[in-house]
Structure 1
Amino acid sequence: MKHKSLATRIGDTDIRLLRIFKTVVESGGLSAAEIELNIGKSTISKHISDLELRLDLKLCNRGPSGFSLTEDGGKVLRAAEDLLISVSHFRTEVNEIKQQMAGTIRVALFDQCASNPESHLARAIHKFNEAAPAVQIELSLEPPNVIETMVISGHLDVGIIALHRPSASLQYAPLYGENMFLYCGKEHPLFDVSDSEFGKGDLRRFNYAGLSVNSPNLIVGQQLGFRRAAKVQSEQALAILILSGRYLGFLPDHLAQEFVDGGVMKRVLPDEIRYRTRFAAATRKQPAPTRVSKLFLDVLMQEHSVNREGEIKRVSTAKR
C-alpha cells in the first residue's frame, strides 16, 4: 500500500525533522551541525533521510564532495521556515490565552550598539529576562531594509533601526542616538594633513565608502556630493574599508574610538562634517504586538527614557 506523504499530515515528529533540516542548512552541513544539534553525524544523516522519505523528495547532496541543497531542497527550506514561524506564532498566541510569558521573541538591530553609551539594550534584555525567563530571545544584526521587511512580514517581532524614513506599516518608539563623523585610515593621503589645509570641496576627489541601503548615511553622502566608490551593508565592513587607507567613510564615534586611540584612524573636518542618527524600536501596526513583545518594548522604553528626554531637549534647542 502506498504510504501517505508528509504533505498530507504533519505531526510533532515532522516538525522536529524540519527543524533539524533547517539547522543543517544554516550550519553548512552535517558535520557542522553536530555541535548545534548535540547529536552525531550519523544520526543527523538518518533524520534527513527520514525527512526525504516522508516527503518523497531529495533535499540535499551529502557525501565526500560536500553538502549542497537540491532545487527541491531549497523550496522545502523556504516552506519549512514559514511553517516554523507559524508554529511559533501559534504557541505564542496559546500562551497569550493562558496568560503565560513563554515562547520566542525575535529582535534585530543594525547599529553596533554594544559600545554606544546611549544604548541601554543590554540592560533592557537583562530586565526582560528577569521578568520573562521562559521566553527565548533571538537577537541578530541585519541591514535596515531587511529589518523593516522582516518586521512587516512578521518574521521579526521588534527591529531597532534608524528613525529617518518612517513606514506607514510600522510604529516606532524612539530609543537612543549616536554621533557620526567622517574618518580616514592611517595610510590615507589626508591622515597627516591638518584640517586647516583643505575644505569640504576637496573631499570629493577622494574615494568614499558608504551604506548601500536607504539610510542617513546614504543621504548625507549624497548631500555632500561624495563619489561612492565602495558600498557595504554593515558598519564593521565600512570600518575595514576606512582602515585600508583608500576610502573616507562615516562611522559612529563610539565604534571608531578604539581605532582613533590606536592611531590608525582619524576624524576628518569634525567641526564641519558630522550628523546625528536617532534609533527607534519598530513593530508592525497590525496585528497588535503580543504580550511578550509589549513587555519587551515597555522595558526598552523604560531603560531609554532618560535618553529620550535628552533627545527631545536637544531637538527643541536646535529648532530655536
Structure 2
Amino acid sequence: MAKLALIRSLSDIDIRLVRIFIVVTECGGFAASELELNIGRSTISKHISDLEARVGLKLCNRGPSGFSLTPEGEQVLAAARKLLSSIDGFQSEIDNIHTNLTGTLRIGLFDQSTTNPNAHIHKAIRSFDHVAPDVALEIALDPPSTLEARIADGTMDVAIVPVHRKSTLLAYTPLYTEHMTLYCGEGHLLFDADPDASAADLDLSGHKYAGYAFNSPNMKAGQNLGLKRAARVQEEEALFLLIQSGCYLGYLADHVARPLLRRGRLRPVAAAETSYASTFAAIVRKKPLPDRKTLEFLECLKAAHGNLAQ
C-alpha cells in the first residue's frame, strides 16, 4: 500500500527548510554550508532532519565518509528546485501585473544606522515612497550574520550590513563607510594614558575586552590586536554600556562615541593603530533575481549614497 503524503500543505517553515536543503546540497555538505547560511553545523543538521521528518524520507548520508544525497534525496532536490522556481515565478508575475508596485518589502539593518552621517538610508526610503507608495515596509534590526542568513533563505528582501566575508549566494552593493576606534570609559586604567602611546606600550592584551559574538570586522580587529573577549554582545548598545562602565575596552563607531567623547567620558585608545574603516553594503540574493520592488529600493539606495554605490 502506498504511503500517505506527510506534507498535506506547505508552510513558510517548510519552504525555509527546502531552501536550506538546496544550499547544503549546492555547497556539498553541512560544514561547507555554514558560511553560506551563517548558522552552525548542528543547527543545519537539525533543519535537514526536520525536513526528512516532514517528507518521511532519508535525504542524505552524513558521517565519516562525507556528505551525499540518497536516491530519494536526489528526487526531492529536483522537486525542491521546481517548487522554489514556481514560487519565485508566481511572485514576479503578480508583481509585474501591477502597474504600481505593491506587496511588502522586508528590509534588514544593523545597529546605529540612523546616526552615521555617511548613511542616507532615510533618503532612500523617502525616494522609494515616492515611486512605490503602495508597498508596505517591514524593517528588522539584527546582527549581520542573521541578516545574511535571512537574505540567503529568502525570508528577507534586502539588508544593509558591514562587509566582512562575502557569500557567493549574495550580491553586494557598497553604500557607505563607518570609522571605528577602540575606546575606554571613564574610570578605566587607560583613561588617562598618553593619547600618543602605542598599543604595545599600553599592553592592551592585559585588559578586558568586549566585542561582538559574531563574525564581523569588529571581531577581526580585536583578534589582530591580540585581545580576548571577556564579554560578548549582539548589539552596539550593549557594547556601549560595557565600555561606559570603565571596565572594558571595546570598538565603537566614532559617530556613536562622539557625544560622550565631547563630554570627556570616553577616550580613544592608541587610535592611530586601532582605528579602521568598515564598508557597509546592501545585500540581495543572486538567484532567483530580486523582484521589482527590491530592485527599485536598491536603486534608491544607490542614488542616495552617490559615488561609493556606483
Would you call these one fold, judging by a TM-score over 0.5?
yes
**Percent of residue pairs bearing the same amino acid type:** 41
SS of 2:302's partner is: helix
Residue of structure 1 equivalent to 2:114: 114
Residues 94 and 188 (structure 1), Cα distance of their counterparts in 2 relative to 1, 3 Å cut: same
Contact kept, 8 Å, 1:183 with 1:266, in 2: the verdict is yes
Counterparts of 2:89 and 2:161, CA distance in 1: 23
Q: CA deviation at 1:198?
A: 5.8
How many Å separate the matches in 2 of 1:307 and 1:91? 31
TM-score by length of 2: 0.69
Contact 1:205 1:227 (8 Å CA) reproduced: no
**Cα distance change, pair 200–139 in 1 and its aligned pair in 2 (3 A):** farther
- 2:185·2:266 contact (CA, 8 Å) conserved in 1? yes
**2:181–2:268 Cα contact (<8 Å) kept:** yes
2:95–2:291: 8 Å Cα contact kept in structure 1?
no
Aligned position for 2:41: none
Moved over 4 A (4+): 7-10, 86-93
Which fold has the larger relative contact order, with Cα–Cα distance below 8 Å and residues 6 or more apart in sequence?
A: 2
The answer to whether the Cα contact below 8 Å between 2:199 and 2:273 also exists between their aligned partners in 1 is no
The structure with the largest alpha-carbon Rg is 1
Q: d(CA) in 2 for partners of 1:275 and 1:148?
A: 22
* Residues 118 and 307, structure 1, Cα contact 8 Å, conserved in 2: no
Take 1:165 and 1:220, find their aligned partners in 2: how far apart are those partners?
A: 14
Task: Calculate the aligned-residue CA RMSD, in Å.
Answer: 2.7
- Residues 282 and 198 of structure 1: is their aligned pair in 2 closer, same or farther, counting only changes over 3 Å? closer
Report the count of equivalent residues: 232
- In structure 1, C-alpha distance between the alignment counterparts of 2:284 and 2:194, rounded to whole Å: 45
From the superposition, tell whether residues 257 and 295 of structure 1 become closer, same or farther in structure 2 (CA, over 3 Å).
same
Aligned equivalents of 1:133, 1:160: Cα separation in 2: 21
Check conservation: 1:183, 1:248, Cα contact below 8 A.
yes
Contact 2:260 2:266 in 1 (8 A): yes
What is the aligned partner in structure 2 of residue 289 from structure 1? 290
CA distance in 2 between counterparts of 1:237 and 1:211 reads: 10
Q: Give the structure 2 partner of residue 215 of structure 1.
A: 216
The verdict on how the C-alpha distance between 1:200 and 1:130 changes in structure 2, with shifts beyond 3 A counting, is farther
Checking the alignment, whether the CA contact within 8 Å between 1:159 and 1:282 is kept in structure 2 is yes
Q: Which runs of 5+ in 2 are unaligned?
A: 1-6, 11-49, 55-85
Q: How does 1:146-161 map to 2 (within 5 A)?
A: 146-161=146-161
| TM-score relative to the length of structure 1 | 0.67
Task: Extract unaligned runs of 5+ from structure 1.
Answer: 1-6, 11-74, 80-85, 310-320
Which position in structure 2 is the counterpart of 1:271? 272
